[in-house]
């Protein structure tokens, strides 16, 4: 690992980066609501396929405007192909897991990803979290679990299988983050780095949708079409590119710790859009998440602050 890479791998988040990550988490939190609202018209695996297929031209156009040379050899092909394969399998695992487990349990176990990022950052990027930062991750995860309402009764072997599949999806999410940070993929433009993943996920998701026998049996409503456009153009085409740009510059474990906020935003969105009930437990959970994020991102007094 180069000295520049080591410097970036441990870099704390600036105020601007934190604002961007919060915006991403808000978008991703609403994305879960968008998926649920479109399910009556479009099956989940097909939604993921349409999302990737719609996002790819958006990223190609954005990259073209910025002068990105998508087909210029830069050493990113192999890690890009690996990341793309993991990206596609990740969504297959997540959507398969949702068949067996509840959406609330899935939300909790999917956000095990920061733990895999932290472990991988230590093993492969030379970044090490302190005991205080590990405690922060634990507090945040506890907050998410409390907000979503786990543990739940009536958990059988099928539910546990679904949980395991979701955790595997979270592990692959963490793995793609580490590949983007720790290989030559980090030197590629964000549009190119994500383009590998989106392009390769299309045939993977298409095959999975065919194997699961998913079909669109009627013309989707205008709302469903708008929600699919939101997922493709904004969530994947824009926010994922921003995420990869941030990964290239900042500590991946600290960035991933902020994703704990995403399901909390999802609960708030469900309250306003789907009229779900907010409880005192949610307020306590929010405090736990905020406290955990503070501990994870608490500056090390031995390290000079980043002026950026």
| 116-150 residues labelled b (16+ CB within 10 A) or e (exposed) | bbbebbeeebebebeeebeebbebbbbbbbbbbbb
Q: Which pTM does this prediction carry?
A: 0.78
How sure is the predictor about 299, in pLDDT bands with cuts at 50, 70 and 90?
A: low
The reported pLDDT for the residue numbered 151 is 62
Average pLDDT score, the chain: 82
Comparing 113-117, 123-127, 138-142, 223-227, which segment has the lowest mean pLDDT? Answer: 123-127
Residue 259 has pLDDT above 60, yes or no: yes
Q: Which of 235, 172, 199, 210 is nearest to 71 (CA)?
A: 199
**1 vs 232, higher pLDDT:** 232
Classify residue 219 by burial, with Cβ atoms within 10 Å: 0-12, 13-18, 19+: exposed
Quote the DSSP letter at residue 112.
T
User: What are the CA-CA distances from residue 105 to residues 136, 150, 170, 283 (Å)?
Assistant: 21, 7, 13, 19
User: What are the CA-CA distances from residue 147 to residues 33, 256, 288 (Å)?
Assistant: 16, 19, 10
**128 vs 241, higher pLDDT:** 241
Contact criterion met (CB below 8 Å) for 186 and 7: no
Structure tokens at 202: 């299309």
User: What are the CA-CA distances from residue 36 to residues 19, 103, 211, 224 (Å)?
Assistant: 27, 10, 22, 10
The reported pLDDT for the residue numbered 265 is 83
Q: How many CB atoms lie within 10 A of CB 152?
A: 13
Helix orientation angle between 103-110 and 261-273, rounded to the nearest 10 degrees: 150
Residue 306 has pLDDT above 70, yes or no: no
DSSP string, 37-105: HHTTTS-HHHHHHHHHHHHHHHHHHHHHHTT--TTS--S-HHHHHHHHHHHHHHHHHHHHHHHHS-HHH
The reported pLDDT for the residue numbered 200 is 95
Percent above pLDDT 70 for the chain: 88
Contact criterion met (CB below 8 Å) for 40 and 157: no
Percent above pLDDT 90 for the chain: 28
Highest mean pLDDT, choosing among 144-158, 185-199, 214-228, 268-282: 214-228
Residue 94 has pLDDT above 50, yes or no: yes
Model confidence pLDDT, tens digit, residues 180-226: 888 888 888 888 988 999 999 999 999 999 998 999 999 999 999 99
**7 vs 241, higher pLDDT:** 241
Structure tokens at 182: 């720790």
Model confidence pLDDT, tens digit, residues 46-83: 999 999 999 999 989 989 988 988 988 888 899 999 99
Highest mean pLDDT, choosing among 28-37, 244-253, 272-281: 28-37
Report the Cα 107 to chain-centroid distance in Å: 11
How sure is the predictor about 303, in pLDDT bands with cuts at 50, 70 and 90?
A: very low
Residue 4 has pLDDT above 70, yes or no: no
Residue 2 has pLDDT above 70, yes or no: no
Residue 9 has pLDDT above 60, yes or no: no
Q: Which of 32, 102, 22 is nearest to 274 (CA)?
A: 32
Contact criterion met (CB below 8 Å) for 165 and 94: yes
């Amino acid at each position: 690992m180069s000295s520049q890479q080591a410097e970036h791998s441990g870099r704390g988040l600036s105020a601007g980066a934190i604002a961007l990550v919060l915006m991403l988490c808000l978008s991703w939190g609403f994305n879960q609501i968008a998926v649920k609202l479109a399910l009556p018209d479009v099956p989940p695996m097909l939604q993921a396929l349409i999302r990737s297929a719609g996002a790819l031209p958006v990223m190609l156009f954005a990259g073209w405007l910025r002068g990105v040379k998508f087909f210029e050899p830069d050493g990113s092909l192999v890690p890009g192909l690996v990341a793309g394969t993991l990206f596609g399998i990740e969504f297959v695992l997540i959507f398969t897991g949702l068949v067996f487990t509840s959406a609330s349990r899935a939300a909790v176990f999917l956000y095990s990803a920061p733990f895999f990022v932290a472990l991988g950052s230590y093993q492969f990027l030379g970044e090490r979290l302190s005991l205080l930062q590990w405690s922060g991750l634990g507090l945040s995860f506890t907050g998410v679990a409390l907000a979503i309402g786990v543990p739940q009764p009536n958990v059988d072997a099928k539910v546990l299988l679904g949980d395991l599949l979701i955790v595997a999806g979270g592990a692959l999410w963490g793995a793609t983050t580490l590949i983007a940070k720790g290989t030559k993929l980090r030197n590629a433009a964000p549009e190119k780095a994500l383009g590998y993943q989106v392009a390769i996920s299309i045939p993977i998701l298409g095959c999975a949708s065919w194997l699961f026998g998913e079909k669109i049996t009627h013309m989707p409503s205008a709302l469903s079409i708008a929600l699919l456009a939101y997922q493709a153009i904004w969530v994947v085409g824009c926010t994922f590119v921003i995420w990869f740009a941030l990964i290239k510059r900042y500590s991946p474990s600290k960035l991933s710790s902020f994703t704990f906020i995403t399901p909390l935003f999802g609960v708030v969105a469900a309250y306003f859009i789907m009229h779900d009930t907010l409880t005192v437990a949610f307020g306590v959970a929010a405090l736990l998440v905020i406290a955990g994020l503070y501990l994870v991102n608490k500056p090390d007094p031995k390290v000079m602050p980043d002026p950026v």
